[in-house]
Amino acid sequence: MTPLRVLIADDHPLFREGVAALLGSHAATDVVGQAETGRRALEMTRELSPDLVLLDLSMPDGGLWALGQIKCLDTPPVVAMLTVSEEDDDVFTALKSGADGYILKGIGGRDLIAAIEDLAAGRSYVSPGLAMKVLQAMRNPSSEEPKEDLLNSLTAREEEILRLVATGKSNKEVGRALDLQEKTVKHYMTIILQKLQVRNRTEAALMAHGRWPEG
């Protein structure tokens, strides 16, 4: 199995190198680069084409700026924020800007590897302490966001796929469950995200939980 190629961007060398050492000791991950600024993270993403980028939120040039730039690339990698910030604005802005995951730095090494494996498998990840906050926000949308109407726009097949995604299944697992090719599921997910007016699987899954709490 080919190791997951990871780029780590953080302006604190001790923390960055510690994460790199952890992931470097794990057979399923290969740290291909380390960046100390958001701009350097973008440059290295273009140069190295990593599978996954871990971005600090508060580094020079800004993690959110780097996130937006990286997600605009022709073939963007999976991107997760790795930060100390639990502020609502930071969490929601990151997810709306396309972050596939939001991981708090207090996470343990084993849990970080598990989170990365989930992200690599096509699942989303939000630190448990924040997940309920995000879910509650999605269940209580502002009057300007008719979320129920958006969910009603899904076809029966799209709803079926979204329900499975909301249980944490990857595209490959959804394909197995519904006897569909993985690329077909990816195509459906692109349409679902467009219909729901969300940027990533995390927001789509949380909308599904709001409608169908049992997933």
Beta-strand relationship, 78-83 and 101-104: parallel
pLDDT of residue 154: 85
Q: How many CA atoms lie within 13 A of 63 on its CB side?
A: 26
- Domain identity same for 30 and 87: yes
Taking residues 76-80, what's their average pLDDT? 94
- Whether residue 31 is found in the same domain as residue 117: yes
How much of the chain exceeds pLDDT 90, in percent?
A: 46
User: Who wins on pLDDT, 147 or 115?
Assistant: 115
Whether residue 65 sits in one domain with residue 163? no
Residue type, 2: T
State which of 135, 159, 174 marks the end of a domain. Answer: 135
pTM equals 0.68
Q: What is the pLDDT of residue 210?
A: 72
pLDDT for 86 beyond 70: yes
Q: Range of 196's domain?
A: 142-211
Pick the last residue of a domain from 105, 135, 165: 135
C-alpha 123/C-alpha 165 separation (Å) is: 8
pLDDT at 139 over 70: no
pLDDT, one tens digit per residue, over 92-128 is 888 888 899 999 999 999 999 999 998 988 888 888 7
Whether 159 and 125 map to the same domain: the answer is: no
